A and B are shown apart, each in its own frame.
Chain A
Amino acid sequence: MSQRPGRARRAAAGLHVVFVIWRIHVKLYLASPFEGFLNIVWPLFFAAMAFLIDDATGNHVIMRYTLFGIAAMGVWSSVAVSGSSLLQHARWGGMLELIVAAPRSFSLILASMTLALETTAVFSFAATLIMARYLFGIPVRIDDPALFIVAVVLTMIAMGMFGFVLAVSAVRYRSAWVIGNVLEYPGWILCGFLVPLALLPAWAHPVSDVLAPTWGIEAMRAAAGGQSPWTGLLICGALAVAYVCAGVLIARAVVQSARVHATLALS
């Protein structure tokens, strides 16, 4: 009984850390004119892509399948590219050493940073849908808005945690940020954003299955179509938890390895 207040206090302190780091990093991204420019151009690009598909097929069933996937593409790009280069930027700015040398858990700090990245990426998701609807006149029908929002939020958190796993590797390997660039386009296909997974070769299915966005986007489509999204939601949530566990374990190992191999600084 006596441990409960201590645990509760620690949990509250942990949440406060996540909130403050998240808030300050969101502020940091919003303060960048270049990031702001990209936040407008990328959704416009994806909405235009949806329009071209809609125009070419004239089939609203296909459009309904691809629209949410197209909106999620920008989020995936943000996770893959920005997530994996997050710590490289921190290294360039001399922040990585300060973050590692801080008494707070490195995993907690990094996960909060990737969540902030995801928050700005949510803007890309919403902006793509809004532009598709109001700029290009593509119908956006969502039968179960509440569960759809749950699916979007959970998918974003899961993607953020995937970004956390990607970002962690950059602590040890200075060139690990290129992994994000390598993953960006294959991810669009493997997560089933544009084409149904059934069209992919059999060997690709296990890879798709361990990517949380695959299940998240399935849940979104199910909620939008009035079907049960729970299978997708549960698997997406479970994968997010698995990413967190893997990220924490990898983080411990790579920080120790970085101390051995002296890779925290630029040189």
Chain B
Amino acid sequence: MIEVVGLGRVFQRRSGLLRLTSAETVAVGDVSFEIAPGELFGLLGPNGAGKTTTIKMLVTLLLPTSGSARVAGFDVVASPHEVRKRVGYVFGGDRGLYERLTGLDNLRYFAELYGVDPRDQRARIGELLELVGLTGREREKVEAYSRGMRQRLHIARGLLHDPPVLFLDEPTIGIDPVGARELRTAITGLRSTGKTILLTTHYMREADELCDRVAVIRRGEIVAQGTPASLKSLTGGGDQVLEVTVANADAETIERVGGLRGVGAAWVEEKADGPVVMIRIEPGADVIADVVAALQDARIERVTTREATLEDAYVELVSRE
């Protein structure tokens, strides 16, 4: 349903009035992936990795500077109009809705923009309000909506023309846990209706729960892709992770820990109760004593072990030099 081959986008920035200077920024270098019909595919990566730029090329808002992409059988450069008829684009945050209008007026407006037959609009809007749980609230102005409600309205907007492909760009950003859970339920519901979905998110638990496959993008290039389980195994699936809360941790110490026998990788995460050294232990290895010895100067406060998660795999993948 989506085929992306060597897609790239370079931004040129010009500045100066008399002496024009030009600088190039590679937002997306060389991205390739395929998404099958009905699949929910996650594109994961840190801020500035190129996720949104990739999506914008796929929904025809940006022209690629290299490579090619086809969505629902149509080339995004040669047939943008055909692509637009077949995709829904939903992004996170507060923008993209008319605040002073009601939710219903917003949906009516976009129903026209997306070419929904006027005779079908009322029924379609009713169905979507039901799907996203906004029935009964549609006559309130959007400015009175909570962020979660706005996001669900965004999803309803993106689905008005019943597109087979849906792009969700960080849809749960800034939403409280209850709202995010409701939204995840709505996304799961969409997958069950056969929609092909490309989702970007910063929340690994969300990606693990929702996505059939994920790709990790770093500095404009895909560094790994596969099922969440295969990604975990790529970085040592089934491994244990040792979490050591310390008072301080310098780079040299972490490097020393990372080089210990039986340690797959080591990195530091800043948490509420201080820096935590995360150590992925290879299967069967017993490294706790060596790690404790290596971190003696870092003043250990707590040591816990747990199963490796997608987040561990993600952090390791995006942190690799």
- Closest-CB distance, B102 to chain A (whole angstroms): 9
In the complex, chain A residues whose CB is within 8 Å of the CB of B12: 261
Does A40 interact with chain B (Cβ within 8 Å)?
Answer: no
Of B60, B87, B93, B118, which contacts A94 at CB under 8 A? Answer: B93
Of B60, B100, B105, which contacts A101 at CB under 8 A? Answer: B60
Does B74 interact with chain A (Cβ within 8 Å)?
Answer: no
Report yes or no: A32 in contact with B100, Cβ–Cβ below 8 A.
Answer: yes
Which of B61, B96, B108 has the largest number of chain A CB atoms within 10 A? Answer: B61
**In the bound complex, what is the Cα–Cα distance between A97 and B108 (angstroms)?**
18
Flag the segment in A17-25, A119-127, A135-143, A176-184 that touches B: A17-25
**In the bound complex, what is the Cα–Cα distance between A260 and B95 (angstroms)?**
23
Residues of chain B from 37 to 88 with CB closer than 8 A to chain A in the complex: 56, 59-63, 81, 84-85, 87
- Number of contacts between A and B (CB, 8 Å)? 78
Considering the complex, give the chain B residue whose CB is closest to the CB of A19.
Answer: B112
Does B33 interact with chain A (Cβ within 8 Å)?
Answer: no
Flag the segment in A42-50, A102-110, A241-249 that touches B: A102-110
Of A28, A32, A104, which contacts B115 at CB under 8 A? Answer: A104
Does A205 interact with chain B (Cβ within 8 Å)?
Answer: no
Report yes or no: B115 in contact with A94, Cβ–Cβ below 8 A.
Answer: no
Does B110 interact with chain A (Cβ within 8 Å)?
Answer: yes
**In the bound complex, what is the Cα–Cα distance between A13 and B116 (angstroms)?**
10
Residues of chain A from 217 to 267 with CB closer than 8 A to chain B in the complex: 259-262, 264-265
Of A13, A32, A101, which contacts B61 at CB under 8 A? Answer: A101
Of B96, B98, B100, B161, which contacts A103 at CB under 8 A? Answer: B161
Does A95 interact with chain B (Cβ within 8 Å)?
Answer: yes
Considering the complex, give the chain B residue whose CB is closest to the CB of A100.
Answer: B61
In the complex, chain A residues whose CB is within 8 Å of the CB of B203: none
Give a binary string over A179-213; 1 marks a CB under 8 Å from any B CB, 0 the rest: 00000000000000000000000000000000000
Does A31 interact with chain B (Cβ within 8 Å)?
Answer: yes
Report yes or no: A99 in contact with B113, Cβ–Cβ below 8 A.
Answer: yes
Report yes or no: B112 in contact with A31, Cβ–Cβ below 8 A.
Answer: no
Report yes or no: B61 in contact with A17, Cβ–Cβ below 8 A.
Answer: no
Report yes or no: B101 in contact with A24, Cβ–Cβ below 8 A.
Answer: yes
In the complex, chain A residues whose CB is within 8 Å of the CB of B108: 20, 24
Of B96, B101, B118, which contacts A27 at CB under 8 A? Answer: B101
With A93-B96, A259-B60 as known contacts, state yes or no: A24 contacts B114, CB within 8 Å. no
Report yes or no: B11 in contact with A262, Cβ–Cβ below 8 A.
Answer: yes
In the complex, chain B residues whose CB is within 8 Å of the CB of A95: 95-96, 98
SS class, residues of chain A in contact with chain B: helix
**In the bound complex, what is the Cα–Cα distance between A17 and B114 (angstroms)?**
10
Considering the complex, give the chain B residue whose CB is closest to the CB of A33.
Answer: B100
Report yes or no: A20 in contact with B61, Cβ–Cβ below 8 A.
Answer: no
Report yes or no: A101 in contact with B109, Cβ–Cβ below 8 A.
Answer: no
In the complex, chain A residues whose CB is within 8 Å of the CB of B11: 262
Report yes or no: B89 in contact with A101, Cβ–Cβ below 8 A.
Answer: yes
Does B91 interact with chain A (Cβ within 8 Å)?
Answer: yes
In the complex, chain A residues whose CB is within 8 Å of the CB of B89: 97-98, 101
Considering the complex, give the chain A residue whose CB is closest to the CB of B98.
Answer: A28
Of B63, B84, B93, B98, which contacts A260 at CB under 8 A? Answer: B63
In the complex, chain A residues whose CB is within 8 Å of the CB of B100: 28, 31-32
**In the bound complex, what is the Cα–Cα distance between A16 and B81 (angstroms)?**
20
Give 14 A-B contacts (CB < 8 Å), ordered by A residue: A20-B109, A94-B95, A99-B113, A101-B89, A102-B84, A102-B113, A103-B81, A103-B85, A104-B112, A104-B113, A104-B114, A260-B63, A261-B12, A264-B62
User: Can you add 7 more A-B contacts, CB < 8 Å, to A97-B56, A259-B63?
Assistant: A17-B113, A20-B109, A21-B112, A27-B101, A101-B59, A101-B87, A259-B61
Closest 8 pairs between A and B when the two form their complex, measured CB to CB: A94-B95, A102-B113, A94-B96, A31-B100, A103-B85, A103-B84, A20-B112, A259-B63
